[in-house]
A and B are shown apart, each in its own frame.
Chain A
Amino acid sequence: MVSLYAEKMLNIIANDSLEEKLVCMFKKYGVNGYTVVQARGEGSSGQVSDMSGFDANIVVKVILPESKIQVILESIERKIKKGYHLTVYISDIKVITPEKFEKTAS
Chain B
Amino acid sequence: MSLSSLLLPAVLFFALGVIAKLIKSDLRFPPDLAKVLSIYLLMAIGLHGGYELAKADIMIAFQSIIWALVLGFTLPIVGYLGLVATRKVNPLDAAAISAHYGSVSAGTFLTAIAYLDNLSIQYETYPLIMLAVMESPAIVVGLILAAKARHTVAARNGATNTASNNSNAQGDFKAMLRDAFTNGSVVILIGSMIIGAIAQPSGMEKLKPFIDDIFMGVLCLFLFDMGMVAARRIGDFRKVGFMLAAFGVVMPLVGGVIGVYVGASMLDFSVGGATLVGVLGASASYIAVPPAMRLAIPEANPSFYLTLSLGITFPFNVIVGIPLYHSMAQAIVA
A contacts, CB < 8 Å to B: 15-18, 21, 38, 45-48, 50-56, 79, 82-85
Are A52 and B299 in contact (CB-based, < 8 A)? no
Task: Using known A-B contacts A18-B294, A82-B298, determine if residue A53 contacts B31 with beta carbons closer than 8 Å.
Answer: yes
Interface size on B, residues (CB 8 A): 28
Min CB distance, B150 to chain A, in Å? 10
Q: Mark the stretch among B54-62, B126-134, B209-217, B300-308 that contacts chain A.
A: B300-308
Q: Which residue of A lies closest to B299 (CB)?
A: A83
Which of A17, A55, A84 has its CB near the most chain B CB atoms (within 10 A)?
A55
Which residue on B lies nearest to A15, using beta carbons? B294
Q: How far is the CA of A91 from the CA of B292 in the complex (A)?
A: 31
Chain B 286-314 interface residues, beta-carbon cutoff 8 Å to A = 286-287, 290-292, 294-295, 297-303, 306, 310
- B contact residues vs A (CB 8 Å cutoff): 28-29, 31-35, 225, 228-229, 232, 239, 286-287, 290-292, 294-295, 297-303, 306, 310
Which residues of chain B come closer than 8 Å to A53, judged between CB atoms? 31-35
A-B contact count (CB 8 A): 63
Q: Within the complex, what minimum Cβ distance (angstroms) separates B222 from chain A?
A: 11
Partner of A50, one of B229, B239, B300: B229
Nearest chain B CB to A46 CB, angstrom units: 6
Min CB–CB distance A94 → chain B (angstroms): 33
**Contact between A54 and B310 (Cβ–Cβ < 8 Å)?**
yes
Is B306's CB under 8 angstroms from A55's CB? yes
Question: Considering the chains assembled together, what is the distance between the CA atoms of A55 and B29 in angstroms?
Answer: 15
> B294–A45 contact, CB under 8 A?
no
CB distance from B176 to the nearest CB of A (A): 12
Is the Cβ of B290 less than 8 Å from the Cβ of A54?
A: yes
The 6 closest A-B pairs by CB, nearest first: A17-B291, A83-B299, A83-B298, A51-B31, A53-B32, A53-B35
Q: How far is the CA of A79 from the CA of B168 in the complex (A)?
A: 12
Q: Cβ of A47 and Cβ of B302 under 8 Å apart?
A: yes
Shortest Cβ distance from residue A22 to the other chain B in the assembled complex, whole angstroms: 11
Question: B298 contacts which of A54, A56, A85 (Cβ < 8 Å)?
Answer: A85
Find out whether the CB atom of A46 lies under 8 angstroms from the CB atom of B225: no
Docked complex Cα distance between A47 and B239 (Å): 11
Specify which chain A residues have a CB less than 8 angstroms from the CB of B292 in the assembled complex: 17
Are A21 and B295 interface neighbours, CB within 8 A? yes
Within 8 Å CB of A46, what residues of B? 239, 303
Q: How far is the CA of A45 from the CA of B310 in the complex (A)?
A: 18
